[in-house]
A and B are shown apart, each in its own frame.
Chain A
Amino acid sequence: MIWDKKYETMPRSELADLQGQRLRAIAEKVYDRVPFYKAKFDAHGVKPSDIRSIADIAALPFTTKDEMRDVYPYGLLACPLSDIIEIHTSSGTTGKPVVDAYTRADIDLWGESMARTLSMGGAGKDDILQNAYGYGLFTGGLGAHYGAQRIGATCIPISGGNTKRQLDFLRDFGSTALTCTPSYSLYIAEAGREEGIDFEKLPLKRGFFGAEPWSDNMRAEIEEKLKIKAYDIFGLTEIIGPGVAAECECQNLLHVFEDYYYPEIINPDTGAVLPEGEKGELVFTTLTKEGTPLIRYRTRDITYITRDPCPCGRTHVKMHRLLGRTDDMLIIRGVNVFPSQVEQVLVKAEGVEPHYQLIVDRRDNMDCLEVQVEMTENLFSDELKYIEQKEKEIEHQLKESLLVHSRVKLVEPKSIARSEGKAKRIVDKRNI
């Protein structure tokens, strides 16, 4: 069902007018209240009064993640701190975390966004929603929670992990909807099969999966194993969390809630806005956020958008699931990992040359990361126990830095392929 018929099915011309008004208002607000944006607008030679329609958005400067870090923690606040009722941050694996600070209205906005998302997959007040996204700073848990409450579903805040209990709850409480990462849903399916659970006999009907890359093949597998409909949902902490875009019942591309979060696709090299249908870097502007509004935030994710009419009746633009990155970021078990982080750890580790390769694979539906490091004379010993100890030390340091477990494998010198002198850093074997 359509949660917010007025806005989700608004005729496109009307929607564009609304977006234009909202953009002007948010531009004025950040110019007046956020010194960071005033300086940016001034340097860019643009005034909020230059914004007369949504098309004028291209005149505004971009915001990058690095800039957000520079003004950590409160530099992007567009309201008094006393109006903020909740704060979330990114994991901060590559430096200072980026901060999303929510006013009461922002939490409502988030709940509305997730209510739309859950309604798209047919969830409503009669649903029992088992929320297996992690609760905490990670936006997945509370985002799905607020959405479930907004639609009046019965939310079970079980959080991630403890698969045995997930299975018990699915059975005992008769959960009808499941929210978690797609890979975890398959993990639950597998564990359930081993326990002899017949998912055909469970009331579970639908699942809302996101926070990591997946595919139509994986969807087919999830739907077959759990006997449910599986919907792709999308969001990012910088913008609000989950609830930025989601699949409708057509399960064909994700509607972006563009009355709240305005998407653009740009050429990552020139910054030029690309025509509909062309692949490029995804950029978002929050049109209504109060706490930490963002203007033209560069996600570094690559995809395309289309305004082709959708049979569901919603008029909102659709985006393809992410097709890649403009940088070399990997998402491993929902955690963002950059090769440069691995390099920093290796450079600091005694006796290690930063000749390494990251092998990412998915085994038993869980992402696993292997860090291959070339053996050096300093690291080598005739005694295995010293080598093993070194491996453990590096593994420990990587865990501290990446926040995700990896397995270190020492390999022979020069065995990591070098192309034009520069090693190929990533081998992603995940067949998703």
Chain B
Amino acid sequence: MNQVQQLSVFLENKAGRISGVSAILKENDINIRALTIAESQNYGVLRMIVNRPDKALTVLKSAGFVVKKNPVLAVEVDDREGILHDIMKLCGSAELNIEYLYSFVEQVSGKAIFFMRFEGTEAAEKVFSENGFRLLSEEEVCLI
């Protein structure tokens, strides 16, 4: 299984709330690999990939945060024009429903990584593997 654990944290939309999370991660030497925030008018959901998701889950929960762990796929691709479209075309033809995604470019290797959350993670994993996409494992993500 090449799925990656993502943590989501519920935050009220007000000043200083992210630092509450970052302080705890810092205290516990947890390294953030990727991070994004989805927001509505009153609250936000902080989504992140960290090097030790289970530890992070425990410490954030004990600090009183509402946290969830969900599987996402980390799709590693060449950083080139049109790659997003290739991925979307594949998802479309395989009828994979993307809930959300975020991405970043890894400068040393020149690769881009898409973190993708699907309605059905297993089905998506299968489609991507069968179509020659490389899915990073938990360990590989930690090493980025």
* CB <8 Å contact, B66 and A413: yes
Residue A388 at the B interface, CB < 8 A? Answer: yes
* CB <8 Å contact, A384 and B45: yes
- Chain A 370-421 residues near chain B, CB threshold 8 A: 375-377, 380-384, 387-388, 409-415
Closest to B117 in A: A382
* CB <8 Å contact, B43 and A387: yes
* CB <8 Å contact, A377 and B66: yes
A375-B66, A383-B100, A384-B45 are known contacts. Are A412 and B40 too (CB-CB below 8 A)? no
User: Closest approach, in angstroms, between the C-beta of A357 and any C-beta of chain B?
Assistant: 13
> Chain B's interface: helix, strand, loop or mixed, by majority?
strand
Q: Using A377-B68, A412-B12 as known contacts, list a sample of 14 further A-B pairs with CB atoms less than 8 Å apart, ordered by residue number in A.
A: A375-B66, A376-B66, A380-B8, A380-B68, A381-B68, A382-B45, A384-B39, A384-B45, A387-B40, A387-B43, A410-B43, A411-B12, A412-B17, A415-B12
CB < 8 Å neighbour of A409 from B10, B38, B42, B100:
B42
Chain A residues closer than 8 Å to B43, beta-carbon distance: 375, 387, 410-411
* CB <8 Å contact, A384 and B68: no
The CA of A384 and the CA of B41, in the complex, are separated in Å by 11
For chain A, the count of residues having a C-beta within 8 Å of the partner chain is 17
CB < 8 Å neighbour of B66 from A383, A384, A412:
A412
The CA of A219 and the CA of B60, in the complex, are separated in Å by 52
* CB <8 Å contact, A382 and B66: no
Residue B65 at the A interface, CB < 8 A? Answer: yes
Q: Which residues of A contact B (CB under 8 A)?
A: 375-377, 380-384, 387-388, 409-415
List, sorted by A's number, 26 A–B pairs whose CB atoms are closer than 8 Å. Answer: A375-B10, A375-B43, A380-B8, A380-B66, A381-B8, A381-B68, A382-B6, A382-B45, A382-B70, A383-B99, A383-B100, A383-B117, A387-B40, A387-B43, A387-B45, A388-B40, A409-B42, A410-B42, A410-B43, A411-B12, A412-B11, A412-B12, A413-B64, A413-B66, A414-B64, A415-B12
Question: Which 9 pairs across A and B sit closest by C-beta, in order of nearness?
Answer: A382-B8, A380-B66, A375-B10, A375-B66, A382-B70, A412-B12, A380-B10, A414-B64, A384-B38
Chain B residues closer than 8 Å to A375, beta-carbon distance: 10, 43, 66
Chain A residues closer than 8 Å to B70, beta-carbon distance: 382
Q: How many A-B pairs fall under 8 Å by CB?
A: 50
Chain A residues closer than 8 Å to B38, beta-carbon distance: 384
* CB <8 Å contact, B10 and A412: yes
Closest to A388 in B: B40
Closest to B12 in A: A412
Chain A residues closer than 8 Å to B6, beta-carbon distance: 382
Chain A residues closer than 8 Å to B11, beta-carbon distance: 412
Chain B residues closer than 8 Å to A411, beta-carbon distance: 12, 43
> Which interface residue of A380, A413, A414 has the most chain B CB atoms within 10 A?
A380
The CA of A377 and the CA of B65, in the complex, are separated in Å by 9
The CA of A121 and the CA of B8, in the complex, are separated in Å by 62
- Chain B 86-109 residues near chain A, CB threshold 8 A: 99-100
> Which interface residue of A384, A387, A388, A411 has the most chain B CB atoms within 10 A?
A384
The CA of A413 and the CA of B64, in the complex, are separated in Å by 7
